[in-house]
Amino acid sequence: MTSSSAPAPASPGAQHSQGLLRRLTPRGRDEAHRVSSPLELFFDLCFVVAIAQAGAQLVHAVTEGHAGSGILNYAMVFFAIWWAWMNFTWFASAYDNDDVLYRVVTLVQIAGVLVLAAGVSRAFDQHDYLLVWLGYVIMRLAIVAQWLRAARSAEGAERTMAFRYVGGVLLCQVGWLGLVVLPGPARPWVFLVMALAELCVPLYAEKGHHTSWHAHHIAERYGLFTIIVLGETVAAATIAVKSAVDEHDALGRLLPIAAGGLLLVFSAWWIYFVVPIHGHLRSNEQAFLWGYGHYLIFASAAAIGAGLEVAVEQAVGKAHVSTLSASAAVTLPMALYLLTVWALHSRHFKVGITQQLVLPVAALLVICCTFLGDWAVLTAGLVSAAAVATGVTLTARTASHERRASTAEPAA
């Protein structure tokens, strides 16, 4: 190497060794070998607590015959969980410098998540959102501190963007106070208005300048969180079946639910990860739509586990709901999951109308399974597995035809 050669960019680990505190500057969009850090994985793991609480309360509401209010509360609480995770994930993809202050502030955000999780049951049972709001205050003040650090190191349009995030986050946090102080009938409207306001903050803040998020890193982060949510679904269903077997002699009714639930989770994993999506995230507009759409993917994936618990409790006579309602608690979130994954992922990689219709048709058939009584969950699992097998077969045939066409062209 000659003396005129430019030094190679320092890796995050090398930067960390240079000092405890560093400027919070953007990371490169084309940074090689960008993967999730141990701190990000720990952050995701702590969200499992909040997701488990939301799922457990949804189960309780549905089994007690309060499905409408339970679903509404679940949608509101899950939005809070998902949005807090989103705020951290996209910021970290652009600005993670892994210094001591960054780590400490992130741990503060994790503490806020745990406070939020502690308030989930009160939000469902008593419509008391104080603890949820306080947990959000902790998380949001921490992310504001991170944006202020970024603004301090930035200039021009990037600095303006950072201050827009600061102002938007703080204003929205004040708005969420309506869930605490306003009467019960007004709270769903407060949620709707504030959820829309939250979604608009990044759109407004990044007008004129975009954060340097890393497409491969973002895709990996979303994939890992999907695995965590599906893992929570497996855990919830396993515990439900175990407790039911321990207390009741209903193994004949539980085995179809357990087998169907397993097929549903396996199919959900396969369908999500069948193609790499990071190449599709080429612009902020695509990334915003893709990132926001994952609210439905995450919420429906977690709801599948809650639905399996409901089905188990109904099978052993512990739930005050009909077989039809218990089946719908599984099939409807699975159908929503299939449609959302198709809209955000699969449709970009399907060739021809037949491939495009596999998941939408599977979603429709899963809904039809709702009316099959005790066999609804198992049949829905078989339909989902058949959709996976059909997709794999059609994709393999298309690839085979393309290979034959490419080898035939030179001879022609």
Instruction: Indicate the domain borders of the chain.
Output: 36-205, 215-405
Residues in contact with 272: Cβ distance below 8 Å, sequence separation at least 6, in sequence order:
223, 226, 297, 341, 345
Retrieve residue 387's tokens.
């959709």
pLDDT at residue number 46: 87
Name the nearest CA neighbour of 380 among 308, 295, 310: 308
- pLDDT category, 367, cuts 50, 70, 90? very high
- pLDDT category, 82, cuts 50, 70, 90? very high
Q: Render pLDDT for 191-203 as a digit per residue (tens, 0 to 9).
A: 999 999 999 999 9
The average pLDDT across 22-36 equals 83
pLDDT winner (highest mean) among 172-181, 207-216, 349-358, 388-397: 172-181
pLDDT winner (highest mean) among 23-27, 204-208, 361-365: 361-365
The average pLDDT across 313-335 equals 90
**Residue 251 to residues 214, 246, 256, 314, 340: CA-CA distances in angstroms?**
48, 10, 9, 13, 34
Please determine, for residue 85, whether its predicted confidence score (pLDDT) is greater than 90. yes
Retrieve residue 326's tokens.
């218990």
Packing angle, helices 38-63 and 100-118, rounded to 10: 10
pLDDT at residue number 137: 94
pLDDT at residue number 8: 38
Please state, in angstroms and rounded to a whole number, the distance separating the CA atoms of residues 400 and 404: 6
Fold of domain 215-405: I/LWEQ domain (1.20.1410)
Of 107-121, 276-290, 393-407, least confident by mean pLDDT is 393-407
Specify whether the CB–CB gap between 302 and 47 falls below 8 A.
no
The average pLDDT across 350-358 equals 76
Q: Which residue has the tokens 């960019």?
A: 9
pLDDT at residue number 252: 75
DSSP 176: T
Retrieve residue 363's tokens.
């979603």
Residue 55 in 3-state DSSP?
helix
Q: How many helices (H) and strands (E) does the chain have?
A: 15, 0
